[in-house]
Amino acid sequence: MASVTMTVNGKSVSADVDPRTLLVQFLREHLRLTGTHVGCDTSQCGACVVHVDGKAVKACTTLAVQAEGCDILTIEGLANGSELHPMQAAFREHHGLQCGYCTPGMIMTAVDMVNRLGHDIDEATIRHELEGNICRCTGYHNIVLAVEAGAKAMGGAGMREAAE
């Protein structure tokens, strides 16, 4: 066993884990934060994307122990109480989901995209940046609309991440 300490959605957590434990397993099975999904388990689909120290990362290809001392933000940490994060609100408004399985990863990737590239991102950029997130329903059209609107809303709200 190995001990690990990290901050998840603003709360400090410590645990003894088998070193094999993936970050996504740790979040889902140890912390019961099941909003982060496991899709392909091969770092291709992006359903497991969380932010590690402010950067989008595939939690299925990161060991929990590698996140030692890191600040983790998951989909559960995005909303401000009962108020959805602007990117979440945009996904609801534009129906940026069908089955919803890829949605947490899409939203975490979208927020990371805005953090890096700003609020005014065009469709081509959004589609290119979503390269590592797969929607098996192929519902990309509304996802792209949602990201574009969410990006603008994040600018309007003058916020980067609700959890900060």
Partner 1 sequence: MYAFDYHRPTSLRQAAAMLQKTEDAMIVAGGHTLLPTMKQRLAQPSALIDLGGLSELRGIEKKGRAVVIGAMATHADVAASDVVREAIPALAELAVTIGDPAVRHRGTIGGSVANNDPAADYPAACLGLGATIITNRRKIVAEEFFQGMFDTALDEGEIITKVSFPIPAKAAYAKFRNPASRYALVGVFVMKRGSEIRVAVIGAGSSGVYRWSEAEAALAKRFSPKSLDGMSASADDMNSDIHADSEYRAHLVGVMARRAVQAAVAR
Write out the residues near partner 1 by the rule CB under 8 A.
2, 18-20, 41-43, 46, 49, 52, 55-58, 61-63, 65-66, 68, 109, 112-113, 116, 129, 131-133
Phi-psi category of 17—alpha, beta or left, where left has phi over 0 and alpha has psi -120 to 50? beta
* 80 secondary structure, DSSP code: B
Q: How far is the CB of 20 from partner 1 (least distance, A)?
A: 5
Tokens of 111: 């927020």
Q: How far is the CB of 145 from partner 1 (least distance, A)?
A: 20
Backbone angles phi, psi at 35, to 5 degrees: -70, -30
Q: How far is the CB of 51 from partner 1 (least distance, A)?
A: 9
Residue with tokens 């060991």: 63
Q: Which is nearer to partner 1, 33 or 114 (CB)?
A: 114
Q: Which is nearer to partner 1, 83 or 122 (CB)?
A: 122
Tokens of 26: 């740790």
Q: Which is nearer to partner 1, 118 or 156 (CB)?
A: 118
Q: Which is nearer to partner 1, 65 or 93 (CB)?
A: 65
